[in-house]
Amino acid sequence: MAIVKRIFTSESVTEGHPDKVADQISDAVLDAILVQDPNGRVACETFIITGQVHIAGEITTKCYVDIPRIVRQTLRDIGYTRAKYGFDADTCGISVSIDEQSPDIAMGVDRSLEVKEGEISAKSALDALGAGDQGMMFGFACRETKELMPLPIVLAHRLTRTLAAARKNKVIDYLRPDGKAQVTVEYDGFKPVRVDSIVVSAQHADGYPVDVIRDNITSHVIDTAIDSHLRDSHTNIYVNPTGRFVLGGPLSDAGLTGRKIIADTYGGMARHGGGAFSGKDPTKVDRSAAYAARYVAKNVVASGLADRCEIQVAYAIGVAKPISVFVECFGTNRVDESTIVDLIDAHFDLRPGAIIQKLDLLRPIYRQVASYGHFGRPDLDLPWEKTDLALALREEAGIKLDEEKFPLPVFN
C-alpha cells in the first residue's frame, strides 16, 4: 500500500489586510476605554470599505474617547496614509453608531445566577460576574514548537510579520500594507517533518516586474522567516501567484471585525467555538474564556501530562461557573483525561470574574494581539501564555519525567 503524506496548512494575514485593519480599530477603541474606565463594557464592531470606516456596537462607559481620532491613528500606524496605498487615514469618511449594552444582558453579567440565588456571596464586583453570553470556547497547546503552538500557524505568522517588517524598514520599498501567507507542513503522525509548501501574496506598487518581486520576497522574507532546514528541494514556493497585486487593502476588499478567527487562534489545527475576540471587553467569555482555555491547555502540555491538549469550556449567559469542561489529548496523555479534568477543576477557576483577576485582563493590552495571533507570542508578555502552574500539575499528577529525555521540541 502506498504511503499517503499527511499534510496540514495554516494561513496568516498582515496588519494591512482589511479584516485585520477592522480588528485593530475595534481593539484600539477598547484599549482607549480601558485606560480611563477598566470596568467599561465594550462590543465594538468595525466595517471598512473604499474610503469609509463604519463603527457600530454597544458600549457602556463613564469616559469619553474620540473614536474618529482613534480610527485615523490606527490607520496611520498600519501604513494607510496615501490613497494610492488603498486607503488614506486623513481623508477617509468615518461614521459612528454606538448604543449602550442591553440592560437585559447587563443584569446577568453584573450579578450571576449563583449570586442571585444565594449559592455564593460576592466579595467584589468581579466575584459577582456572570458570563456575558452562552457559548463554547476552545484552548489548545502542543509540543511542536517552543511556543507550544502548531508549527504551520507559527511559520505563517512569522512570514507575515517579516513581510510587514520588510515594508516598514524599506528593505523592499515598493511593498504596500496588505498581504497574506500560507504554510503547509508534512507530518509523521503528530510530528512535523518538513515544510511542503509556502505561499506569500504581497501588495506592491505598480511598475515592478513579477520576477523581481518574487526574487525579493524569497530572499528577504521567506529565507529570513523559515529556516532552510525546514525546507528541501521538493518544497513548493508560490509568491504572488496571480502575477499582480497592486490593488489591495480596503480599496479592493471589505474588512470586518472578527473574520479571521482561525488566524487569530491555532490556524485550524484546533476546533473553534465561533466567537471572535477583537472589540470585546473581557466580561465577554468569547474572549476571556478562550484566553483562559489556552492558559489551561498550555500548562497541561508544559507539565508533561500530555503532548497535545485541547480544552473546551462552555457557558450559559448570566451563570458564572462553566456548564462543562471537556479535555481531548488525542492519545498523547500520560494520565487519564478524567484525572486532567479533575486537576483543571482544582487549579483553575474558570468563572469570568476569576479569569479576569487571574489574567489581569482589565488593561489596554488588546490592540497588540489584534494582528499576528493572540497565542504563542514570545514577543509579548501575555498572561495567558504563562506556564506558572505546570509544575504543580505535574507534581499532583505524580508523574516523573526525565528533563533530558523530555525536552521541548527543537523543530521550531
Show which residues are catalytic. Answer: 17, 19-20, 45, 58, 180, 245, 253-254, 259-260, 280, 284, 286
Say how far apart CA 29 and CA 297 lie, in whole Å.
30
Residues ≥6 apart with Cβ < 8 Å to 25:
46, 48, 53, 55, 70, 71, 74, 75, 257
Q: How many residues does the chain have?
A: 412
Q: What angle do CA 30, 35, 37 make, to 5 degrees?
A: 85
Say how far apart CA 87 and CA 80 lie, in whole Å.
5
Task: Give the relative orientation of helices 285-303 and 390-397 as an angle to the nearest 10 degrees.
Answer: 60
Say how far apart CA 26 and CA 47 lie, in whole Å.
10
- Grid cell in block for residue 88: 488614506
Q: What is the DSSP letter of 125?
A: H
Rg (CA), the chain: 22
